[in-house]
Structures are given as structure tokens and as C-alpha cells.
């Protein structure tokens, strides 16, 4: 039987590269291509593939959120496709999980397919290692680095570097001291990815690193602001008492 594959990546060029390599193998059938996480969840449920080539960093629903939505029973064989990130790669290797680094080399791709076929014959898929990794991520506060792409440059931002995050339409602005990065991501998605013991959504348009807060101020017009250690001011519309409670434990 042919190996039924779904490609998931928000970058069109990356999907094209993977598709072309898969099309060279007559024993592979591409059943869907998806450019976002929600489409990937729907496609897996609709097509029940044998293998999913899954990008990690995607706007909205990222690769790990796709797997959480599917659960162990609906998750096929998974090969992660990622830009170079030593922390993610170390985690994959520690849990014996298959991964490909971008740009994907044809030789590495061929070896991956051979291993997937071998496991398919001799070791029907089990997801203990995969879901152990996801449980570990949750226990660690989901502290994986954010990937910011700008032209030919890719920057990795650790959560603890961020002072606060500002909404800007379909984008988010990461404030890191005097530096800023623009990320194509929604505030809801970022809120779910960041460590909950460190970050707090203080308004529709702001997520705050609580460890950067020096003081809270109440203004005459009934408004409230957080003063950060470097003098930045962030407006708060969430309950001030709730934010104060959160600040006690950081």
C-alpha cells in the first residue's frame, strides 16, 4: 500500500520543496497540503494519513497544538519539519522523534522515508515518546523560543527576553528593551504558547511579562498602567486586583 502523506507548513516554498521530493517516490500518495494548523487538524481527520510532515512554528495553531487537538488515537506517524533550533532538536533526539531541518536535504529526506517505512512494517506506531515530550513542554511552561522571520534572517526569542507584547492587527510586536520584533501571530496563539507563570494578558492588545513590572499605577481617569523596570508604560484593562495577585507569585 502507498504511504499516504499530509504536508503541513505555512511557507509555500517549503511545501513545494517537500512535495517535489515526495513526488519522486511512486509509493507515496500526497493526500493534502495545509498552510495552517487548523487546516491540518481537519485534513488528518478527513484523510487518516499514514504520515504527517509537520512544521512547528505556524501562526494561530502551531505544530504541537495540532497534535494536542488530534490526541494519541488520531495522530499518525509524525515527522517534524523545523528551522534550526538546538533546543527543539535536542528534545526530539532525547525522545527518539523524527525531524527534518529546513532547508530539507534530499539525502536526509530519503533516509527519513526509509525509516518511516521500516517502522510501519516492524513497529506499528506508538506515541508514548511524542506525548511524553508534549507533557514535558507543558510542565516546563511551554518555554520554547519564538521564531521571528525577517527577510533572509531568522531570530529566536526566548520568552524571558520579552518585556511585553503589543497587538498590531494580524501581527504582534515583541518589545525587548530598546529592540522590537514583528511576529505574524495572533495574541490568543501567543498567550497559549508562553509560560503562564510569567506572562499575563492585561488587555486585548497587551501581554505583559510580570517579572518586568516595577509598579502598578491608578490614573485619575480610572485607568491603570503597569510601569516596567526600564520605564515603559503598559495600559491595563484587566482587573487590577487580579494582576496584583498574579504579581505576588513571580
Span 132-150, pLDDT tens digits: 877 776 665 554 667 787 7
Q: Specify the pLDDT at position 110.
A: 95
- Alpha carbon dihedral 126, 57, 186, 129, in 10-degree steps, equals 20
What is the predicted pLDDT for the residue at 125? 58
| Positions in the chain whose pLDDT score sits under 50 | 143
Separation CA 88–CA 110 (nearest Å): 22
Using CA of residue 189, residue 78, residue 86, residue 150, what is the dihedral sign? negative
The confidence score (pLDDT) of residue 106 equals 94
Residue 111 to residue 123: CA distance in whole angstroms: 17
Q: Per the structure block, which three cell numbers stand in for 171? A: 501581527
Cross-strand partners of 157: 146
pLDDT at 109: 96
**pLDDT at site 228:** 95
| Residue 126: per-residue pLDDT | 61
pTM: 0.59
Biggest CA pair distance of the chain: 71
The pLDDT of residue 61 is 67
C-alpha cell recorded at residue 5: 502523506
Q: What is the pLDDT of residue 137?
A: 67
Q: What local confidence, expressed as pLDDT, does residue 15 receive?
A: 95
What's the first-to-final CA gap in the chain, in angstroms? 54
The pLDDT value given to residue 146: 78
Please say whether the dihedral angle defined by the alpha carbons of residues 70, 75, 80 and 81, taken in this order, is positive or negative.
negative
Cβ neighbors of 225 (< 8 A, separation 6 or more) are 216, 217, 219, 233, 234, 235, 236
Amino acid at each position: 500500500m502507498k504511504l499516504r502523506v499530509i504536508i503541513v507548513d505555512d511557507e509555500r516554498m517549503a511545501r513545494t520543496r517537500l512535495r517535489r521530493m515526495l513526488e519522486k517516490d511512486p509509493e507515496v500518495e500526497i493526500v493534502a497540503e495545509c498552510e495552517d494548523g487548523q487546516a491540518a487538524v481537519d485534513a488528518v481527520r478527513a484523510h487518516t494519513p499514514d504520515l504527517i510532515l509537520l512544521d512547528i512554528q505556524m501562526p494561530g495553531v502551531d505544530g504541537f497544538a495540532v497534535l494536542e487537538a488530534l490526541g494519541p488515537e488520531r495522530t499518525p506517524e509524525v515527522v517534524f519539519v523545523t528551522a534550526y533550533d538546538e533546543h527543539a532538536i535536542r528534545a526530539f533526539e532525547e525522545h527518539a522523534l523524527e525531524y527534518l531541518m529546513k532547508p530539507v536535504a534530499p539525502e536526509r529526506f530519503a533516509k527519513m522515508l526509509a525509516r518511516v517505512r521500516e517502522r510501519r512494517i516492524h513497529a506499528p506506531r506508538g506515541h508514548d515518546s511524542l506525548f511524553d515530550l508534549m507533557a514535558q513542554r507543558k510542565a516546563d511552561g511551554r518555554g520554547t523560543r519564538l521564531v521571528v522571520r525577517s527577510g533572509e534572517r531568522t531570530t529566536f526569542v526566548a520568552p524571558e527576553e520579552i518585556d511585553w507584547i503589543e497587538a498590531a492587527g494580524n501581527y504582534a510586536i515583541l518589545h525587548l528593551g530598546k529592540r522590537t520584533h514583528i511576529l505574524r501571530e495572533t495574541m490568543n496563539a501567543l498567550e497559549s504558547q508562553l509560560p503562564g507563570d510569567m506572562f499575563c494578558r492585561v488587555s486585548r492588545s497587551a501581554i505583559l511579562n510580570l517579572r518586568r513590572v516595577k509598579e502598578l499605577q491608578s490614573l485619575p481617569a480610572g485607568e491603570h498602567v503597569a510601569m516596567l523596570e526600564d520605564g515603559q508604560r503598559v495600559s491595563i484593562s484587566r482587573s487590577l486586583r487580579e494582576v496584583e495577585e498574579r504579581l505576588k507569585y513571580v
